[in-house]
């Protein structure tokens, strides 16, 4: 009987909400300063202390601004998330730009969202959570071509490695500037096809000549066709044809592309006979082709044929742990293109690095390239570390509100944020969905605290709650 009671006790403890295993693990990674890299720790249900001399199993950050036991991460079963609290550190802690507590005073535990930026003294860390943390690494994929240690990248490289040797089409989905062409080149390399990689920007093809450009034409097929043209499909024989921005192809041409994929044949403009081709197609788009198919703007059968292997490349804002590494990588490329006259990277101060981590990067890697050129391409190219004052206004200044009676404004992730009737340009900026959700969790869903935090009327906070599918939480 005692044994039975003991088992019952153990069972009740193991299923207690506060001890139940989280649905996913978390990872905390140091991203700044470079002298502390690499350093990361997985976080499950066991509390993890971060500091200069943490407990066993903690994360060591050997920086003079970090206290011996600076902060602690723990699992909160009731809120189903990891939390962070300052342990009374000397230099304090910040979560997504907000102070956890005053220097030397412990703080209350605050929930951690995926991609949260944690600052301990002058050290910067990024918290991630997701099932992708458990994915095995695909060693055959080049880390130079598809770099990154973010949680989504290991899963992405694993699927890329599986798709590359298969002859079926690959569809790469991602926002503008995420690096889709680099992925296409790596798919071609791993496919070991002997022919060339032929990139095509479908959005730049001439609407009048797009069929001829893709499939070729015979001499005299139309006015001005004084010579025959083999077309891009045949130019990629035994290789890979990369159709970038495939969602921009006109509907009438999509049927011919589908036939080429299904039968392995193309028909030149003006020719009565099709020609066999041995071409592997890799396509890329920043459009939602499933939605475009449902709306009749893209052929559903072509979408099904292209997406046998579908690879989604996450935007940079979902890979915050890799942002500073991309700054370094693209600066090195920028400098090598300019030879010995290019200035070396002077590094960033903690404040400037934190600003880069918290920026939304709507242009992704193109935005990083723009930042590098603005920092190092002018006459004032000193070797002093980059401070927030040197960062361009588009990276540090929040978007200004308008004086127009606006019905809605898009957040960083495309969701609509309602704006009150009319407002002055001096009002607090409209938060993105990410910023609002982070503040909602940090302030425990209090409408009063949110109104004070954003400098808005409570009625506006209720509107934002409704827009983001959130509810006011009762006070604890």
Q: Which residues pair with 199 in a beta bridge?
A: 242
Asked if 280 and 241 count as a contact pair (C-beta separation under 8 A), the reply is yes
- Class of the 317-396 domain? mainly alpha
450: nearest Cα among 460, 474, 415: 460
Which segments of the chain belong to CATH 1.10.8.60?
Answer: 317-396
Element (H, E) at 463: helix 458-467
26-133 carries CATH number 2.40.10.10: no
- Please count the CA atoms within 13 angstroms of the CA of 322 that sit on its side-chain side: 24
Q: What is the DSSP string of 142-168?
A: -TTTS---SHHHHHHHHHHHHHTTSSS
- Cβ(72)–Cβ(84) below 8 Å: yes
Q: If we measure between CA atoms, which residue out of 192, 284, 191, 185 comes closest to residue 244?
A: 284
CB atoms within 10 A of CB 263: 11
Other CB atoms within 10 A of residue 390 CB? 17
What residue ranges of the chain are covered by domains with CATH 3.40.50.300? 136-312
- Distance separating alpha carbons of residues 325 and 149, to the nearest angstrom: 10
In CATH terms, the fold of domain 136-312 is Rossmann fold (3.40.50)
> Widest CA span of the chain, in angstroms?
97
**pLDDT for residue 436:** 81
Per-residue model confidence (pLDDT) at position 107: 86
Q: Which residues partner with 172 through β-bridges?
A: 284, 311
pTM check: above 0.85:
no
Print pLDDT tens along the chain (476 aa): 444 443 333 333 334 444 444 456 899 999 999 999 999 999 999 999 999 999 899 999 999 999 999 999 999 988 889 999 999 999 999 999 999 976 677 889 999 999 999 999 999 999 999 766 666 677 789 999 999 999 889 889 999 999 999 999 999 999 999 999 999 999 999 999 999 999 999 888 876 677 888 887 777 666 666 676 778 898 999 999 999 999 999 888 898 899 889 988 887 776 768 888 999 999 999 999 999 999 899 999 999 999 999 999 999 999 999 999 999 999 999 888 887 666 677 789 999 999 999 999 999 999 999 999 999 886 555 568 899 999 999 998 654 333 332 333 333 333 333 333 333 333 455 777 777 877 887 777 888 878 778 777 777 788 788 777 787 877 65
Residues carrying CATH 2.60.200.20, the chain: 26-133
Q: Nearest-CA neighbor of 461 among 445, 444, 475? A: 445
CB 187 within 8 A of CB 163: yes
pLDDT at 378: 67
């Amino acid at each position: 009987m005692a044994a039975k009671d003991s088992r019952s006790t153990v069972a009740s403890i193991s299923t207690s909400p506060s001890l139940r295993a989280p649905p996913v693990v978390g990872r905390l990674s140091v991203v700044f300063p470079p002298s502390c890299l690499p350093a990361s720790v997985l976080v499950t249900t066991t509390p993890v202390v971060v500091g200069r001399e943490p407990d066993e199993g903690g994360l060591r950050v050997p920086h003079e601004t970090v206290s011996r036991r600076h902060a602690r991460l723990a699992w909160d079963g009731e809120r189903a998330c990891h939390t962070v609290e300052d342990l009374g550190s000397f230099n304090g802690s910040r979560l997504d730009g907000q102070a956890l507590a005053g220097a030397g005073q412990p703080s209350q535990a605050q929930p951690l969202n995926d991609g949260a930026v944690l600052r301990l003294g002058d050290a910067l860390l990024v918290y991630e959570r997701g099932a992708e943390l458990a994915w095995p690494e695909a060693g055959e994929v080049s880390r130079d071509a598809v770099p990154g240690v973010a949680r989504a990248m290991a899963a992405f490289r694993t699927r890329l490695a599986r798709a590359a040797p298969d002859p079926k089409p690959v569809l790469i989905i991602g926002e503008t500037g995420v690096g889709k062409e680099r992925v296409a080149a790596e798919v071609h390399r791993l496919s070991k096809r002997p022919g060339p990689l032929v990139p095509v920007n479908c959005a730049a093809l001439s609407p009048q000549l797009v069929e001829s450009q893709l499939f070729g034409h015979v001499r005299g097929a139309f006015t001005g066709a004084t010579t025959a043209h083999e077309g891009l499909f045949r130019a990629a024989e035994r290789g890979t044809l990369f159709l970038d921005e495939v969602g921009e192809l006109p509907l009438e041409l999509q049927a011919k592309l589908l036939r080429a994929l299904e039968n392995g044949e193309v028909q030149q403009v003006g020719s009565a006979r099709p020609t066999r081709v041995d071409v592997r197609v890799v396509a890329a788009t920043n459009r939602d082709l499933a939605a475009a198919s449902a709306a009749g703007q893209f052929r559903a059968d072509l979408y099904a044929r292209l997406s046998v292997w579908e690879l989604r490349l996450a935007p940079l804002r979902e890979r915050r742990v890799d942002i500073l590494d991309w700054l370094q990588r693209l600066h090195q490329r920028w400098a090598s293109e300019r030879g010995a006259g290019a200035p070396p990277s002077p590094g960033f101060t903690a404040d400037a690095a934190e600003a880069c981590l918290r920026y939304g990067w709507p242009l992704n890697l193109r935005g990083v390239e723009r930042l590098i050129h603005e920092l190092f391409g002018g006459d004032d190219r000193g070797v002093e570390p980059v401070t927030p004052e040197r960062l361009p206004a588009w990276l540090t200044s929040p978007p200004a509100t308008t004086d127009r009676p606006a019905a809605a404004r898009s957040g960083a992730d495309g969701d609509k944020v309602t704006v009150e009737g009319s407002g002055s340009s001096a009002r607090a900026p409209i938060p993105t969905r990410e910023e609002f959700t982070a503040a909602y969790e940090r302030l425990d869903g209090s409408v009063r605290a949110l109104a004070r935090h954003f400098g808005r009327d409570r009625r506006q906070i209720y509107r934002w709650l409704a827009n983001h599918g959130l509810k006011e939480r009762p006070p604890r």
